[in-house]
Structure 1
Amino acid sequence: MSTWPRLFPTLHCDSERPSSLTASALKTVRTAVSVPENELKRWKRIFEANSKVVNGEKFLDQESFVNAIAPKDEFTKIGRAQFGILFRVADTSRRGLVSWEDFVVFETVLKRPDADYWMAFQYFDADHSGYIDYDEFRSTMSANIGPESIPFDFDCDWVKLYLGKKNGTHVLGYNEFTQLMKGLQGERLRQAFAYLDADQDGFIKPDQFKRIILEIAGHKLSDAVIERLPTLCTLSPGQRISYSEVNAFYNVIKEMDMVERILREATAKSKDGRIDQNDFMNHAASHSRYSLFTPMEASIIFHFAGRGVPGQRLALLDFAQLLDPRWKLPHSQYEQYEEQASPAAKTSSIANRFLSSTYSFVQGGIAGAFGATIVYPIDMGELLLSSACMAMQNQRSTVVGQMLYKNSIDCAKKILRNEGFLGFYRGLGPQLIGVAPEKAIKLTVNDLIRGKAMDPETGRIKLGWELFAGGAAGGCQVVFTNPLEIVKIRLQVQGEAAKLEGAAPKGAVHIIRQLGIVGLYRGASACLLRDIPFSAIYFPVYSHLKSDVFQEGYNGKQLSFLETLSAAAIAGMPAAYLTTPADVVKTRLQVEAKQGQTHYKGLRDAFVKIYREEGFRALFKGGPARIIRSSPQFGFTLLGYETLKKALPYPWEEKPPSQVATALTSRPDDLSRIRARNALKILLDVHGDVGRRAAAFGKPLSLSNPKLT
């Protein structure tokens, strides 16, 4: 009997053979589980890329089927050959070939939320009856337990509770089977311990414990944890391991997803990004209705994460070796690797780091130009207020005591009326020319200092270092900012004055010649007073918005386009407004004062005179306009920078040998491949070598060939 009617009762096929699936039936398969057209096309590309032609038709054999469904992650603990057992599920006709229609059904089944258990059920249901009896359960399971493995007693009371007596008076439907599979590992653990505890004193040897774990959960643990499994005996006196400890370790493995969730949340809330065993227990107790983990289970978690050293405060990275079976090389070994490097290798490393910083500098320049280009045309109101801000900040009492502008809108109207639309673009040329190195050096210096000050294990940086990194970045940018802004400001301000006085405006080259090198840095102290606090406020706020508000990195979360833009733009608001007084003073110092206007001798003199003559509010003139101008510009600049870093990372970034991604990073495989892997993990709970023996013999398991001996 074909499995198709059981999988999709609404299908109408020409026969029970899957190969005869009609176009209308294929459409029914897709619509029954909402398969989008683009996903079907993706499946078709995968099938076409791996299929082979047999008798004029395209099919997947077992090898090409594995290539089509197995995750690309080369570090997985599951062998690629083991995915061949899923071929038995897809090949419902038992032809040794999977057609396009078979492949569609297999991928469609993978879309089920319970695909992992459903695949396991299909694997055990050898006769396709829709039920599993005692003989099927025993034959399928025995096929994956070799003579060298710890034996399993199929006549135990646990099996009888599910399947009745030996002759089989009870069969399991799908829902009952899922419960059996969920408890199977626990029963195997109990039987394995009893089998190895020959003298029945309640203890086994460390190497026996390792043997048990390798059979039932070896695919879930990294090589480092597996090598140190015997050290579990050090948690209690006697150098032996009790059943309680074995069961506690099994519970940790079974609840690994919850362990990771608690670790992530607890370390995220910790001030230093590290937690101890008490912190773990307290967080687990406060976020669950009942106690999830016993003190013994918590001790086991910290024993393996802390490499056997008790009482440590550990970072999330320390737990990676327990959380991720692909984990290879700890950070401490990376440092040792660097220390032992030859002088030539170290010189090469320094050169590589210089190139990396140069690469970041170029990316920052591109991002800065992108931000400036986007902001100018995106909203005319922002452009008006950008020029209005400069003009308002330079506004001062005239000889007759009259004010040239009443507010930002009045300023914008007068500029538009007197100079036209192009008046708001005065100074844009120098800004576009110089914005690239300005933003590049700011972003590069901030990243460089943060990288050096950051704790490599927690990824945390102290607030003091955050402020210093931002402030240093702002200070460095003044080298480019001051000359550009003094030219831009004079171009912007002289336009309005030239109209009123009937004079022709001067060009940027004339202004540069007039000022000279020293003159280009007039008002640099005010520029430093503005840019250092601006960056010291901006970068820490931006970082904490990403991590604390938008939860970047939590459970591997990557920020969306809108979230990154929002964080970058919002961070610019307080930074822009709070540094407005310094910007006002800088503008006054850099603008050429006309006859009858107040002249300023320096930074302190400007602050005092502005306050005395115009009041405190004058120091915040143009503040809202500055927010409207700066916030989106920095938003798009940081968005461009973050996007470039992700899309085009430095190609020669130094990494230690064999270092792999940890559980802290997301895997690139699509959901169907992940579900295929999870389906196989359910079967691996039967035995860690499931599928390997079949692959070694070169033929699939079946009821007629159960043991492959």
Structure 2
Amino acid sequence: MIPLPRVFSTLHADSNAPTAGGPVESGAAARVVQTVKSAVRTQEPELKRWRRTFDTNAKIVQDGERYLDRDQFVNAIAPSADLTRIGRAQFAVLFKVADIQKRGRVSWDDFTVFQTLLKRSDADYYIAFQYFDTDGSGTITFDEFKNTFIANVGPDAIPFDFDCDWVKLYLGKKNGAHVLGYNEFTQLMKGLQGERLRQAFKFLDDNQDGFIKPDQFKRIILEIAGHKLSDAVIERLPTLTALTPGGRISYSEVIAFHNVIREMDMVERVLREATAKSKDGRVDQTDFLNHASSSSRYSLFTPMEASIIFHFAGRGVSQQRLALIDFAQLLDPRWRAPGDIEEGPVAAVAGTAVASALHNVAASAYNFIQGGIAGAFGATIVYPIDLGAMQNQRSSVVGQLLYQNSLDCVRKVFRNEGFLGFYRGLGPQLIGVAPEKAIKLTVNDLVRGRAMDPETGRITPMWEIIAGGTAGGCQVIFTNPLEIVKIRLQIQGEAAKVEGAMPKGAAHIVRQLGLVGLYRGATACLLRDIPFSAIYFPAYAHLKKDVFNEGYHGKRLSFLETLTSAAIAGMPAAYLTTPADVVKTRLQVEARKGQTSYKGLVDAFSKIYREEGFRALFKGGPARVLRSSPQFGFTLVAYEYLHKYPYKEQPREVETALTSRPDDIAKTRARNALKILLDVHGDFGRRSTGGSSSS
């Protein structure tokens, strides 16, 4: 059994610990132990979280104490959703490090020490060092390195020559014994894959002509990097021979492929940035190399490495422009391409088509309901602004001016009708707002979805305008009758006070107008709603993407960012369409005695301009901005959040460890430590996790 103070010294010694010789002195060990205990005391919230994790998983009770066995330890430390090919069972490799006293179980004190170790910035390498340092001496001998290596790779692995010059350069002799300190060990582990690659190629290259067979190349990659590749890429590893004639693979190609795997995070960053800046959301090899060069001080990738990246992304056709989704099989180890799913008989395919059609109908209906709920929410919040009376205010009318300005309008409505006066006409508004907003939002999404490139998620500016304009035009069938009733209800309250008349209800107005009358001013309504939506929806989409960087590196907008995008987009859309709204309002409101009447759209435009001037066409423009901006802001926020629930068709995204929500940093470092060990061999630890104390 290893004394606990010495274990503490080994686990928590500074990265500048002695690189040769024996363990640290007992005085230093005591100081390290005290430092660890002090660190734990000063981090009570973390300590409580560790305790909850331990108590949740520890099921073994001995002598009144609880312990974690191997499986329970894995449950406690393994990431919840790891986007790699590392199996949860492989985390049992780290049990050897946590089991300080080699009892086959981990106590609360052991678990605390292990979690504290994971807080080190170099925890991944330090855990690997602990695994190879089998005697806990603080150094690794040649025999420790060799025996631990052999015990974990298995008898079928490609042989590794431990007497090679490369090993001798790292494991220098001192007093007749090979020793390796921690700092040197980290460099050895970083370069080990390259040496294994060189030795493996030389071992399999029987006639020493610089070439190996495709199946031999696959064997090498599976041993040293199989956990980093998806099944689709692994199956196609032999196709690397297609890059050059001869049906064999050179050492240069093997090294180039290994460099791509080793720099996969940088490959992903370059691809994401290059496709984001591309006009069509696609890149070719030239674009990739140019962006890689412009984003670094020197060329990160050679032309051969770029060819390999595009070869596996393009499924053998490397000279083409590819979208980010095409690279998913290379970037995401768990990726499964849609085409890999086997198709069933014709009847099954037909059944799938019917199910898909029913799903689309259900999704459209669900989206329609979501649009109505979102629209009602937005309309209710801003309805007091939408009195409409200021737009109907004439500069020359018989009798008195109803309102001097917007503030005067608010004062008089509140004085004459009270707070409820601000919501006069809200009932018909909410009854009609569901189909109105639902049609607008659903049609815009529908047209955008049909015009969008399914691989890049891009849509041309022209189709964005068409989608928005179509949505605005389709809503008029519900908007026009609704607004006639709403406007007449809003203005008759004040007019009734002035003229001593009783206000009429919505049913009376509908009967009075008739079906044809309900669509009076429809042309002006189309002239307002089509440009409004054609401006609004493209502006909203580009504000989210270009200003707030939605989707960049997997970013999702916050509530405030979404609200800001929607509100800002509504400002130009609302103000620039004010003239059409003024004309529509004048056409829909019944003229009183002494007021100018209008015969149609052109007549209204000309008379308003002639009698009241150009500024009259923008009367109520600021109020429209104050109303439409927050209304559509809250409407779109509600719609976006409702869309996170069922029937939302999410585009296929490339989700990797680089873009996914980070797990607990301790679990991330535990995973990274395991990756360093798996770089020695893909099956590292599988053979040595059978026993409890011998692992």
TM-score exceeds 0.5: yes
Contact 1:29 1:105 in 2 (8 A): no
| Match of residue 522 from structure 1 | 520
Q: Which residue of 2 aligns with 1:394?
A: 392
Say yes or no: does 1:649 pair with 2:646.
Answer: yes
Equivalent positions of 1:667-682 (< 5 A) are 669-682=663-676
2:366 equivalent among 359, 364, 371: 359
Shift of the alpha carbon at 1:397? 3.3
Matched letter for residue 472 of structure 1: T
1:132 corresponds to which residue? 140
- Matched residues in 2 for 1:691 and 1:515: separation? 82
| 2-structure distance, mates of 1:116, 1:348 | 48
Are the counterparts in 2 of residues 121 and 174 from structure 1 also a CA contact under 8 Å?
yes
1:52 matched to 2:56? The reply is no
* Mapping 1:280-291, distance limit 5 Å: 280-291=288-299
Structure 1 residues 427-436 or 246-255, which shifts more?
427-436
Which residue of structure 2 lines up, in the alignment, with residue 684 of structure 1?
A: 678
Tell me, yes or no, if structure 1 residue 610 matches structure 2 residue 612: no
Q: Displacement, 1:75? A: 6.9
Deviation track 1:425-478 (CA, whole Å, cap 9, x = no partner) reads: 222222233323322222222222222221111111122221122122222222
* Aligned residue number for residue 277 of structure 2: 269
- Give the distance between the partners of 1:335 and 1:273, measured in 2 at CA: 29
Q: What corresponds to 2:171 in structure 1?
A: 163
Map of 1:57-456 to 2, 5 A cutoff?
Answer: 57-73=65-81, 76-165=84-173, 169=177, 171-330=179-338, 332=339, 341-375=348-382, 383=384, 385-387=385-387, 390-399=388-397, 404-456=402-454
Displacement after TM superposition at 1:603 (Å): 1.8
- Equivalent pair of 1:427/1:488 in contact (CA under 8 Å): yes
**Deviation sequence 1:84-114 (CA, Å, 0-9, x none):** 1011122212221122333333334334433
The 8 Å contact of residues 84 and 228 in structure 2, kept in 1 or not, is answered as no
Quick one: which amino acid aligns to residue 650 of structure 1?
Y
**Correspondence for 2:21:** none
The question of whether the paired residues in 2 share the 8 Å contact of 1:124 and 1:136 is answered with yes
Letter in 1 for 2:38: T
* Cross-structure match for 1:473: 471
Q: Is the 8 A contact 2:74 2:92 kept in 1?
A: yes
Determine if contact 2:313/2:327 at 8 Å carries over to the other structure.
yes
How far residue 301 of structure 1 moved from its aligned partner, in angstroms, is 0.5
Q: How many residues align?
A: 673
Instruction: Evaluate the alpha carbon distance shift between residue 260 and residue 511 of structure 1 in structure 2; reply closer, same or farther with a 3 A threshold.
Output: same
| 1:303 Cα deviation after fit | 0.7
| Distance across 1 between alignment mates of 2:495 and 2:410 | 14
Deviation, structure 1 residue 639: 1.2
Q: 1:626 to 1:138 in 2, by over 3 A?
A: same
Matches of 1:690 and 1:69 in 2, distance apart? 18
Between the aligned partners of 2:663 and 2:175, the Cα distance in structure 1 is 44
What secondary structure is seen at the aligned counterpart in 1 of 2:570?
Answer: helix
8 Å CA contact 2:36–2:116 kept in 1: the answer is no
Q: Secondary structure at the match of 2:60?
A: strand
Q: Secondary structure at the match of 1:342?
A: helix
1:626 is displaced (CA, Å) by 1.2
AA aligned to 2:647 is: Y
Distance in structure 2 (CA, Å) of the matches to 1:370 and 1:675: 45
CA distance in 2, matches of 1:414, 1:254: 72
Percent of aligned pairs sharing the same letter: 74
Residue 28 of structure 1 corresponds to 38
Distance 2:109 2:301 in 1: 46
Q: 1:285 to 1:441 in 2, by over 3 A?
A: same
User: Aligned residue for 2:20?
Assistant: none
In 1, Cα distance between equivalents of 2:477 and 2:41: 62
Distance 1:655 1:313 in 2: 20
> For structure 1, which runs of at least 5 residues remain unmatched after alignment?
11-15, 17-23, 377-382, 703-709
| CA gap 1:113/1:561 in 2 versus in 1, 3 angstroms | farther
Is this contact kept in 1: 2:425–2:489, CA < 8 A? yes
478-487 or 165-174, which deviates more: 165-174
- For residue 246 of structure 1, what is the amino acid of its counterpart? V
SS of 1:318's partner is helix
Please give the per-residue CA displacement for 1:244-301, whole angstroms capped at 9, x wherever unaligned.
1111111111110110011001111111111110011111111111111111111111
Distance in structure 1 (CA, Å) of the matches to 2:101 and 2:544:
52
Letter in 2 for 1:465: W
Q: Residue by residue, what CA displacement relative to the aligned partner does 1:657-678 show, whole Å, maximum 9, x if unpaired? A: xx99667962685444333222
Helix, strand or coil for the counterpart of 1:54?
strand
Structure 2 partner of 1:559: 557
TM-score by length of 1: 0.88
Q: Is the contact made by 1:249 and 1:300 (CA closer than 8 Å) also made in structure 2?
A: yes
CA deviation after TM superposition for structure 1 residue 689, in Å: 0.6
